[in-house]
Amino acid sequence: MKASARWVLLALLLSVAACDQTRADEDTRTKPVSAPSPQLAQNSSQSPNIVRTEPLSPTPIRINVKNLPQPFATQSASKSPNVVSIPQNPVLRVPAGFKVNVFAENLDAPRWLALTPSGDVLVTETPQNRIRLLRDTNGDGVADVQKTFASAANGLNRPFGMAFAGNSFFLGNTDAVLRFPYTQGQQQISGAGTKIADLPAQGYNNHWTRNVVVSPDGNKLYVSVGSGTNVGEEPLPRASVQVMNLDGSGQQTFASGLRNPVGLDFHPVTKQLYAAVNERDGIGDDLVPDYLTRIQQGEFYGWPYAYFLPNNLDPRQTVSGKSKRPDLVARTRTPDVLFQAHSAALGLQFYDGKTFPEKYRNGAFVAFRGSWNRDRGTGYKVVFVPFDNQGRSLGYYEDFLTGFLLNPSEPTTWGRPVGLLVLPDGSLLLTEEANNRIYRIQYTGNR
Residue pLDDT, tens place only, 395-419: 999 999 999 999 999 999 999 999 9
Is the CB of residue 162 less than 8 Å from the CB of residue 212? yes
Q: Is 78 helix (H, G, I), strand (E, B) or coil?
A: coil
164-to-77, 114, 141, 323 alpha-carbon distances in Å: 41, 9, 24, 42
pLDDT attached to residue 42: 34
Q: Does residue 427 have a pLDDT over 70?
A: yes
Q: How many CB atoms lie within 10 A of CB 4?
A: 10
Q: What is the pLDDT of residues 328-346, one digit of tens each?
A: 999 999 999 999 999 999 9
Q: How many CB atoms lie within 10 A of CB 119?
A: 13
The DSSP line for 400-429 is EEB--EEETTTTEES--EEEEEE-TTS-EE
Reported as type and span, the H/E element at residue 148 is strand 145-150
pLDDT attached to residue 212: 99
> pLDDT tier at 130 (50, 70, 90 boundaries)?
very high
pLDDT attached to residue 202: 77
Please indicate whether residue 17 or residue 369 has the higher confidence score (pLDDT).
369
pLDDT attached to residue 48: 56
pLDDT attached to residue 446: 81
Q: What gap in Å lies between CA 307 and CA 121, rounded to an integer?
A: 37
Q: Is the peptide bond before 304 cis (omega within 30 degrees of 0)?
A: yes
Residue 210 Rama label (left phi>0; alpha psi -120 to 50; beta): beta
Q: What gap in Å lies between CA 174 and CA 180, rounded to an integer?
A: 16
Q: What is the mean pLDDT of residues 233-262?
A: 98
pLDDT attached to residue 24: 45
Q: Does residue 19 have a pLDDT over 50?
A: no
pTM: 0.92
Q: What gap in Å lies between CA 339 and CA 321, rounded to an integer?
A: 27
Q: What is the pLDDT of residues 133-173, one digit of tens each?
A: 999 999 999 999 999 999 999 999 999 999 999 999 999 99
pLDDT cut 90: percent of the chain above it: 87
Which residues touch 175 (CB under 8 Å, ≥6 apart)?
157, 198, 199, 200, 201
Domain boundaries 3-443, corresponding CATH code = 2.120.10.30
Is the CB of residue 120 less than 8 Å from the CB of residue 135? yes
3-state helix, strand, coil in the chain (%, to 5): 10, 35, 55
What angle (nearest 5°) sits at the alpha carbon of residue 240, between those of residues 235 and 244? 105
